[in-house]
Amino acid sequence: MNKQFEEWLKNYSPMYRFYVDGYSWDKLPFSMQWGAYLEFFDSVGISIEVHHYPSYDWCFFIYNPTLHTQGKLLKTRTEAQQEAIKKAFEILNK
């Protein structure tokens, strides 16, 4: 887990309650993790969108004040979300 994200999760996110109550981040459903990731990246100025194109597949877009990135086409929403998270962390760590 990215250190900056972990600190944000502990200090700012209501999701941290799951840690306190004995749950593990890895055991949370991905849909809950996705929500926390979106809030985190919004807080550091990185916006993530995932879109479905009926005649294509799923794709993600990442925006910040100096960047617009479009991801590759993927078969499922979850795949697009997971790839978007990876790319957003790459951008954050630059």
DSSP 18-53: HHHTT--GGGS-HHHHHHHHHHHHHHTT-EEEEEE-
The mean pLDDT of 26-33, rounded to a whole number, is 82
Answer with the residue of higher pLDDT: 6 or 52: 52
Quick one: 65 exposed, middle or buried, by C-beta within 10 A (0-12, 13-18, 19+)? exposed
pLDDT exceeds cutoff 90 at 1 = no
Average pLDDT over every residue of 20-49: 84
63 - beta bridge partners? 47, 68
The amino acid at 22: G
What integer is the mean pLDDT of 20-36? Answer: 77
Residues 94, 92: Cα–Cα separation, whole Å: 6
81 or 23: which leads in pLDDT: 81
What is d(CA 94, CA 52) in angstroms, rounded to the nearest whole number?
28
Best-predicted range by mean pLDDT among 12-21, 26-35, 84-93? 84-93
User: Model's pTM, two decimal places?
Assistant: 0.81
Q: How many CB atoms lie within 10 A of CB 12?
A: 13
